[in-house]
Structure 1
Amino acid sequence: MSETQLYYADLHIHSKYSRATSRQLTPRHLAAWGWVKGIDLLATGDFTHPAWLALLQEQLEEDGRGLLRLKEPTRLEQELPWLETPVPKAPRFMLGTEISSIYKRGGVVRKVHNLVYLPNFDAVRRFNERLDQVGNLEADGRPILGLDSEHLLEMVLETDPLGFVIPAHIWTPWFSLFGSKSGFNALEECFGSLSQHIFAAETGLSSDPAMNWHWSALDHLTLVSNSDAHSGANLAREATLFSGTMDFATIREGLRDRSTGTFQGTLEFFPEEGKYHHDGHRKCGLSWDPRQTEDHGGICPVCGRPVTVGVLNRILELADRKEPLRPPDHPDFVSLVPLPELLSELLSVGPKSKTVQRRYCRLLAQFGPELTILRHTPVEELRQHWSLLGEAIGRMRSGRVQRQPGFDGQYGVIRVFSDRERREWRHGPSLVLPTDLDHPSCTAQTAPGGAGAGREEGDVEKHPTPNPEQEAAVQAGPEPVLVQAGPGTGKTRTLLARVRRLLEQGTPAKEILLLTFTRATAEELRNRLQLETSAAAEIQAGTLHSLAYAHFVQHHGRDPVLLSEEDARSLFVKAVAADRHEGQQMWTRCQLARESGIPSRVPAPGEAEYQEAKARRGVVDFTDLLQKWLQGLTNGARPEWTQVLIDEIQDLTGLQLNLVQALCPPQGHGFFGIGDPDQSIYGFRGAVSTTAEWLSRTWPELTPLSLQRNYRAAAPLVQAAGTVFPERPPLRPQRSVQGQIIVCETPSAWREASWIATQARTLIGATAHSQADSGDTGETSPGDIAVLVRTRALLRPLAEKLDQAGVPCSVPEEEPFWRDNRVQDLLETVRAAFDRAVTPPWDCPEAVLGQGPAGMAAYWAQSGPVDPLFWQSRAFQQLQQAFADQGDWEALLTWLARQDTLDTVRHRVEKVRLMTLHASKGLEFTAVFLPALEEGLLPYGAGDFGSNEENTALTADRLAEEKRLFYVGLTRAKRYLYLSHSQERRLYGQTLAGRPSRFLQSLPPSLVQTKTVVARTKQRSTQLTLM
């Protein structure tokens, strides 16, 4: 590019020293991404941070025109290992930074972000010296200062006459010049007598110039756009176009005086994609346009709080024009969709997936940088390469896109094809997708963490179309339907297909309720549906407890003070004034009675005292939420859901089943439950194992169906698991892979653990140089191996043996104290004392904060933002200990940040998973070990083991549930199943003789290999004498 041609600039980015940014961000890394994106000029970002400034001075040099260039501009492609296209040139850099100002002006707290630009390192040094007197520049790449915007502008102008300020993302609700939460209503209100020195403003991702041209007060400002990127991949999602000589003074003058022709317009997000375009509440799933907000008085009907007013609403509030009017001398703009997002839509995978990265890489190699592809490459050339891509970019250039606006911090979605067109790609004859995505020149990096770590149960082997049993389940109804879906039979696939069928038949998405056992499952199902249809956003998906919580908020107009399970049990024991052992037993019986769903005129022992104790404190527990919702449904109108679909229905308690029935029409029409009664393992929580009989009593028309084809496991494993319940129709294995089942007897638990470690190391292969030299060639990933036990007490010895054998393994640990919601609120209150950008959840005097956790507990001992039980909880006690270890709040916050980093690292590492059988439900692994299969451990409570534990009487119901737990363990394995028992085991302070579990007797000898580990004996050699 010659010095006088058009060039693209992205003048608002961040470094690795800003919060929530990529740790890879260096000048060279940014330069590599700059070329990939098609950017010719980048801001340095964050020049106020001492470490980043030192790195800038180390890698960049001044070019004599107020800009910077790389000292070593070659081999930039090495910064992006997935990119094999050479990077022929590096962009220039301009010294720029963003500053967050939080201050009071006009009697109101203002939070404004401003961009500052300076022409050389010396000016930056002088500016930083002054700014360092205002606040701590080392705390964040984007410093947070109590500095009035007018004073900041004054400081810039005094530092260098060429320095200038641009208000950043001027409409963002928080931290912006005109934001609805803390902004101003006029430029002059913010910058006062220096307002004439503001000649440009950044529109932000949620608005475009046309929206700004509704307000004549902005006509004199040049409207620029930048990416505000926190990673290289986000560069150029918005950019500014210039022409002429690339130097600092020319750029500044071009922004100040549009008649120079230097400023040529902007490249924009479609503003609906910005995360603050519409009004709404993200937590409540509420998105409104300005008219809807006005109709509801700005109050969210779900939580009763004011909605977050978005950019569109705020602009219309200040606008003095009904239609946008572009100033005659202001260049126009172009709206684009980032290329990875287009590829994501075309390929039906996530924009950060390896599939998208490979195709992106090929396009760069063939057509050049991303902006070249999006703006300049002829559509016909793109069609010849890939017809769908050419059509997509053609539509984007003409503005023919479908828009789902973002709101309250949630990005919007822009698509170029309709749901119908996408369905045709997947299922119709016109589908034309690339078949060469694995081009050798564009090999993508492996995602962190690899592909193991235990896949979700729904991730079964793919089969192209629903089988007859699945199709019958999908099409059944309108009578209530209950589907028995054994392990690996495609339960999740069937459930999602049922939802798709409802949508295709015209059922409004908002009338569909999808209930799951965990929030993680709800999120997964929602994400999978959203990949296929934008209507999925209106489907209500969640747990019964989360929906009951929302009902409480809607009914009472406030959040409940919700007891954790630990606090609820503690309060119960105190209320009944019993010793700990007796109180725990009473608590269990009381909870089972409350969750049973069977009305009783006589409360369970201790229930009345417990209810009174909760009422005095104004708190509720999880069961209360369900009971209050059920009572509301019984006394009031039924919700608008016409289709209620339930995953893992065998895990519901009687109370929860009653609640589900109350959510459905009287005859149960629209009900669809799916699960496996043979995997009902939560009886200790009140789960009903006879769901079909329970529902049939209310709904005689209940239609029972079953799925019989197993797509998960090898045939021997499917057949062996089937023998546990011989009275059931056997599942039919569909995978043509080899499988192996080994039953091993060992003389001791120590030898059992050694045997497991040896087998695991063989499966994995070499884990060190010495093992590689010895010829270990196993190919199973550590994350595809699990060791499943009946009780947590068995985990630690197994982990020690695996560790000694060089096998990486992970043992589930207690949830760290900083994950407790109440501790998080407490810590956020502390952070607010150090960071004025943080809004404290609790009001606490600084003098009290200075006394540490103990001072806060004393201050709020009687009345405060949490139940007094919190101050005696394990989480708070651990917080106190951590505070004592670290010495003060600042050190503790630093330590906690380090723990989060370590957590991230740990989660990325693949390890053999050690967990309880209960925790393994819903997961699958290539190889599974089931140790300690002995009477008393599985089934638990039989014989001597566990005799010191509570409620171990092995009733018929408990024995049946223990058998189902054994079945769950067997069915987690896909290819290799290792079962073991020991003749002797030390547990709970006792050394006991172990007898093989009765459940092993059900396995036919023809399907298993038996092994025995012989005890080692030491022989003393005796030398004969001559005599």
Structure 2
Amino acid sequence: MQFDGDIEVRVMRGGTEITRVTRPLRQTVHGPAVKFRRRLWPVIDSSIDITGRTLDDEARAQEETSMNSLIAVNDDDRQQEAVITASPQQRIVVDAGPGTGKTFVACQRVSHLIREGINPGRIWIVSFTRTAVHEIRNRLADSLDDPAQAAGVRIATLDSHAWAIQSGFSKDAALTGSHDDNIAATLSQIKNDEDVQDYLERVNHLIVDEAQDIVGIRAELVQALIGGLRPECGVTIFADRAQAIYGFTEDESLGAQEGQSLLKYLEGMDFSAANLSKVHRTGQPGLLRIFTDVRETVLDEKTPTAVRRAAVREQIKRFADGDAGSFQQLKLDQIPDDALVLMRRRADVLLASSYGQDRKHRIRMSGLPSRILPWVGELLWDHTDTRLTRPEFDERWQNGVTTLPQEASDGAWNLLMEAAGLSAHVVDVERLRNLLGRASPPSLFTSPDYGDGGPVIGTIHASKGREAEDVHLYLPPESNDDTDDEDEEIRVMFVGATRARKRLSVGSTGARRTSDHDGRVWKRHAKGKIQIEVGRMHDLDADGLVGRTAFASAGDARAAQERIQKNPVIKGLFASAQQDLRWRMSVEHDASRLCVLSERLKSDLWEISKKCEGGPIGYLAHLRSIGLRTVALRMDDPSLQYLHEPWASSGFMLAPMLTGFCMSRFGGKK
């Protein structure tokens, strides 16, 4: 069967149009056809007539009697269709290499489950990263007969699902301690709380993405989730051992995991196996060799690891389209807006972003603040009522929003209504604040990248699950010896190389060594100099934006907010420790205070200086803003009491997207 893309068709009954649906158009020997209500209908003038004859019975008869069936289905179509249309009660592990249509199949699987009568709210999708959650959410609505049903499907990271369970069934739930502590608390609830066990029995189908990366206590949690489901509840699990890269990672919230993998747990459970093998991401011969031949090398555990690592590196370079050279030669102004620039190490991303890059670009790596879109803060920064009506919204949009055009207002209003609609024309602002004030705000209001347009510079880990026409991959030196797991480094190279759809260029980074303090990278230089990462989550908080400590008056805070709004991109910012701020760092722009960096950053700088046995770090040079974001505070956020009005009542404010591998010196000021 050949697929010619999607088509909108009118569904007719007795000459009357009853609905319109969008379906993949299938070419058969009887002409174009689409599936509707699990039956295949001929398409005539963009319509199907459900009172007429279908093609299904004849197709089945001919398939049984002839190799030349009515609908010619190749092996890959059968692979995908077998997973998509498997019984809702079936439990399957799907081996899916990169580019084999895993996300498409997962979304179509959900669509099939809903057509089979499963309530969208009883379908759970567990994905490993927020990037993958964004990708699935963006594509799911297009796969459903009724796109509105996508909102009902429970799609979240494993940590978010765990927190939803913990907070829903424990009045003492709190996001304290490490990420693993919160996972452990949820695991205990599943094992010991009868209410939680009853809750899990409501799930009708569980889909788990990137299962190869779920190890240790997270693997125990997923195993417990599966064990808590009713026997007739189906489970679909997607995995690729060649892409298992989170045993040791640049992402401190997920990395350095130890213990048994989820795939190992599944070996003792009653799951059938399925496979997706045809590569859809690219048709380029060299890239196809990477997706297939190099994958075989990655998975060849009989070959010594050192030999395999060298072979994978050599094959990726040989099959790539070009040499990107050293990353110091990277010129972003020569790279398309939709390109990916990938690096293994966090410090390399920061350096590539910080120096000599006049081109607007985005950053993708872990540990950065959630980027709530700036129109939210522009709209609501001084709205102190608990409700927002459509006329109020329209007036505020026209007078206050500068980051989106006027014609985008309807779409923005629809998002507010979807998240916190109280009635047909009223938004519950308190509910909206509590949603956006979460550690992981709803993806509808966020962007997956840190920045406002241009190519993406990111770590390989953070870009997993993404793809681009043009990928520039920079690998550490072959002699680099600062890796903990050679097997994993092989898989990291493979994941980076398989992000490309049309063109892959491979270059190299330097052999630099950096240190780490709670995920923050830093590097000591000669003559008392040091470089430190700035711009991480919690480096800038509400108090530093509009707080009474940072600004003497509400007027001063308002002036700073206006400077932030009018200057989203700023190079060459300078921060210095100020005595009146108890030595917190004040960020200056045009001789005026823009914001004040957090107490947590001050503490980290002190701990780093102690490790180096140096004096205090009194300034930070080469700090930059690469765009705007919104900060939203929950109704019960304790920091509200320290803010100026109207922000203490509204809970919304603007913030610069700060980033930099900042230079400083031990022992005082510049």
| TM-score scaled by length of structure 2 | 0.48
- Give 1 or 2 for the bigger CA radius of gyration: 1
Larger relative contact order (CA 8 Å, sep ≥ 6): 2
| TM-score scaled by length of structure 1 | 0.32
